[in-house]
Chains A and B, each alone.
Chain A
């Protein structure tokens, strides 16, 4: 049989056509789609049996109870404990992805020294013992030359905090500094004697007058918005938000009063003026007449001009604030001058909100055996009280995120050869000094203690249990201060491991038999005295529970000095010149830059906002039109401090004549263009905007 070339071609062609009529090509297509989706480099989830563990979040002092779903020992998701009295099942956007923190690219694995300019080139890894010796030498040098050694605590009230106080007390010029809620610290300083730890009792307040505090988005417990909406529907709570920008809180509040940037103090003093003139006050301070004279320059007519609002807003707010007791005035301590904080706190004093349920309350001290030990403790100081350029060595505990002090203020306080020692899970570079960074465990890796509640009627204490093993070489705050004390010859620090010291504290709390205890395992809250032993208390807290102190009984408070509100730096009527706007530095993009968040937080913002595309400046549409600017165009921002390019966004919600600027990632910070107050808070700064 002869096979011709033509027959071969026919066979091949027929086969090719025939195969198309079979399932083979379609199956191959389908399978190839599946195969190509199973490349070995595509991560696959680890399978295994699910279990649930209960603990408390350490990311802020809200101490939310949470439930971790684990595969083996690995947490794969977090959710709130619905019956928890502090967070009612709600978690914030940082907390809901906090189990990713241990994988953050900026995680620090070894102690290091960072000197010169910020950047990897200036960073040197070193052994912990070697680092301790260098820091101890600097501390001894400071002691010999009568320079200050300061230890800054972002979460006061912990057992570690008491050890820090002992360390500071053991040095000739040691200072223990807290970075808590500064508005309450200001209020505390207005009393003739320290009244004790102060807190806002927001849940029991009938009216909250908020000066820029993000009450309904990220301040304090994430459950507040749901609680507020419920109370609002029942007519039990009102929020008035005084703020330049239409923030999320401003958008949800009962009333939003937009004022010019930096005029919070003037607005508060205007309200105080109305309260005094209309005899709406309930305070009997000795110096009230003197205070009235001091603020005579702030009648509603003048304040309306300064703040850019109607006089009626000022009068109505004053009357409402006074009539709806218990009410409370709150202000964002991190973004305002001490002058503004004092002016707002004076409102609380004037209408008798201090020491009153629903106003500003005094918390009872949480029992601590360390605080009562024979070792002396340093008193609490503030950074403001320390002279500039006097701190030779500053130790900062950043192992738990929370309140922090602005870099500008830290820089001002350090001597020329000053060092900064930071205990942190992440690389935190401050370019103005030699910095030592010691790696600490991150959330879910170590035993941590949570105290506080600056927004609740009474304080609480929770424990965060380690759910995953910590990497080698991590140092917790108690180990850190004990070993540094030993290296520097400071011997008056209580000994014991973190667990031993915390267990002693449980015994001290148990022996007081006060307060209530929430058991996360069964969702029940009961009296502490119903527990049978300190070990039982420990076990309940270790499993996501929470101890809540009983509220302080009403007692007479020390006398208060209203005249400590300074009116010296009276806010001028701004903007000062034509063709100038007021520059308002904003911090929204900071959430993407902050190392203390999961990389997944990149999902929340716009993708373009994640790239170093330069600063963005938001202008009112009419303001932009008047300057000949269009949405998306590039401009030069020029202030007395410098200049910077930015991209324009026109936004109808913006106040006229205000330029709200957001720094972009890895770019020059907008703050460098702003003028600073003596206390390192930012002043609204005139800015010229020119198209480039």
Chain B
């Protein structure tokens, strides 16, 4: 529950040992946030996918080779949020009430400083106007506006769902919302229950407990940006890889 004393800090724990790389999170995110199908000229750098699933291996030869799937999205930095601090237009907003880093496309001028500043490559620029196959635009989510060519966008923990949960609570005369009332599309759609979402500031929440486990870690933690997306794995090589360097087997190899 949202506490009057302590403001919520929404965050996520992704269990890499449970992820089978099915891509449901990517697709549910695209449906929820009206991200269009890939443009015919898009490549790995110019395509838009708020949540990308990347394959990471232990770099050992066959038959010792092992791999995990990494769903990567905006890490929702809580401290000195790099994208927010460089935006000249105040198009990136850090919500002090929730800790969510949101993008406001209508303010964005498309300078892409934020993309340069983001250490996780989690921001995407609209190189083309959004296009859907004929008729498919009628199946867009009415809670989220489409974005046009020339602006940056990224994951905002399905902020529209938070607004809807708050509106529902207000109608019912409540100020606080329950954890189950606000779940981003990626977490809701995960068939293997690999994505946990909740209030990190609530010591009793599942997400808070998992984030504190010894098997949990954050990406590029040494930068001090306090990301609110945690990963966990019981496989030691995953931690070793993260400590060394995040090596992606697929997405960083640009063959486009």
Question: Which residues does B use to contact A, with CB under 8 Å?
Answer: 18, 20-24, 26-28, 30-32, 34-35, 37-38, 40, 42-44, 46-47, 49, 53, 57, 59-63, 65-69, 89, 105-109, 129-148, 150-151, 185, 188-189, 191-193, 249-251, 253-256
On whether A607 and B43 interact (CB within 8 A), knowing A42-B130, A43-B132, A246-B67, the answer reads: yes
Within 8 A of B (CB), among A37-54: 37-39, 41-48, 50
With the chains together, A48 CA to B141 CA distance in Å? 10
B133: chain A residues within 8 A (beta carbon): 100, 103-105, 599
Question: Which residues does A use to contact B, with CB under 8 Å?
Answer: 29-30, 33-34, 36-39, 41-48, 50, 71, 74-77, 79-80, 90-93, 96-97, 99-100, 102-105, 216-218, 222-223, 225-226, 229, 246, 248-249, 251-252, 258, 599-604, 606-608, 610-611, 613, 620-622, 631-632, 647, 649, 651-656
With the chains together, A44 CA to B61 CA distance in Å? 50
Whether B254 contacts A33 by the Cβ 8 Å rule is no
On whether A37 and B191 interact (CB within 8 A), knowing A222-B22, A608-B43, the answer reads: no
A77-B31, A620-B62, A652-B57 known; 14 other A-B pairs, CB under 8 Å? A30-B107, A37-B150, A38-B148, A44-B140, A76-B140, A76-B141, A100-B139, A217-B21, A603-B38, A604-B23, A607-B256, A622-B61, A632-B253, A652-B59
A248: chain B residues within 8 A (beta carbon): 20-22, 69
In whole Å, how far is A3's beta carbon from the nearest beta carbon of chain B?
40
In whole Å, how far is A161's beta carbon from the nearest beta carbon of chain B?
29
With the chains together, A613 CA to B254 CA distance in Å? 13
With the chains together, A249 CA to B69 CA distance in Å? 12
Query: Can you report 12 A-B residue pairs in the complex whose CB atoms are below 8 A from each other?
Result: A37-B105, A37-B150, A45-B34, A46-B140, A71-B142, A76-B139, A91-B189, A105-B133, A217-B21, A218-B22, A604-B26, A652-B59
Whether B146 contacts A42 by the Cβ 8 Å rule is yes
Whether A654 contacts B62 by the Cβ 8 Å rule is yes
Whether B141 contacts A45 by the Cβ 8 Å rule is yes
In whole Å, how far is A492's beta carbon from the nearest beta carbon of chain B?
41
Whether A37 contacts B106 by the Cβ 8 Å rule is yes
B109: chain A residues within 8 A (beta carbon): 29, 33
Whether A226 contacts B193 by the Cβ 8 Å rule is yes
Whether A602 contacts B37 by the Cβ 8 Å rule is yes
Whether A33 contacts B129 by the Cβ 8 Å rule is no
With the chains together, A216 CA to B18 CA distance in Å? 10
On whether A599 and B22 interact (CB within 8 A), knowing A611-B256, A622-B61, A653-B62, the answer reads: no
Whether A97 contacts B27 by the Cβ 8 Å rule is yes
Whether B106 contacts A34 by the Cβ 8 Å rule is yes
In whole Å, how far is A653's beta carbon from the nearest beta carbon of chain B?
4
Q: B53, B62, B107, B142: which contacts A33 (Cβ < 8 A)?
A: B107
With the chains together, A248 CA to B34 CA distance in Å? 28
A606: chain B residues within 8 A (beta carbon): 44, 250-251, 255-256
On whether A103 and B136 interact (CB within 8 A), knowing A30-B107, A225-B191, A226-B191, the answer reads: yes
Whether B145 contacts A601 by the Cβ 8 Å rule is no
Whether B20 contacts A225 by the Cβ 8 Å rule is yes
Whether B27 contacts A44 by the Cβ 8 Å rule is no
With the chains together, A566 CA to B59 CA distance in Å? 41
Closest to B51 in A: A603
With the chains together, A47 CA to B18 CA distance in Å? 37
Whether B20 contacts A252 by the Cβ 8 Å rule is yes
Q: A30, A76, A607, A651: which contacts B42 (Cβ < 8 A)?
A: A607
On whether A608 and B44 interact (CB within 8 A), knowing A34-B106, A36-B150, A43-B146, the answer reads: yes
In whole Å, how far is A455's beta carbon from the nearest beta carbon of chain B?
15
On whether A607 and B140 interact (CB within 8 A), knowing A92-B191, A226-B192, A601-B27, the answer reads: no
